[in-house]
Amino acid sequence: MARYLIVNADDFNLTEGVTRGILAGHRRGIITSTTVMVNLPGLERTRDLAREAPGLDIGLHVNFTLGPPILPASAVASLVDPSGHFVRDRERVGDVGALSEIRDEAA
């Protein structure tokens, strides 16, 4: 029976350096898939870079901890701080997040 190993590199689009590192690992045959953070700046550039690696499987990195939400901050008010970004305060994280807003942001 054949065995396969999937090596997933998380945080595609976190920074351009992370994105380029993932692509370099894929070109070297190490990384087989990645998950992209679609709510962060630079997504268009990341998309263009990803087109250079058609064999790289790309999934969605569901992100509720860094940067702004995809939806308007007013639509997910329980998930964001006053600046409109996801709550980063570890002591507050368990106290935030109306389930309906989490569902809407993930959809």
Angle between the N-to-C axes of helices 16-27 and 43-50, in degrees from 0 to 180, rounded to the nearest 10: 10
Stretches where the chain sits below pLDDT 70 are 90, 92-95
Cα–Cα dist 91/107, whole Å: 26
Phi-psi region of 103 (alpha: psi -120 to 50; beta: other; left: phi over 0): alpha
pTM for the predicted model, two decimal places:
0.87
Whether 26 and 32 have beta carbons less than 8 Å apart is answered as yes
Side chain identity, residue 65:
T
Cα–Cα dist 82/73, whole Å: 9
Q: According to the model, what pLDDT value does residue 3 have?
A: 85
Q: According to the model, what pLDDT value does residue 19 have?
A: 98
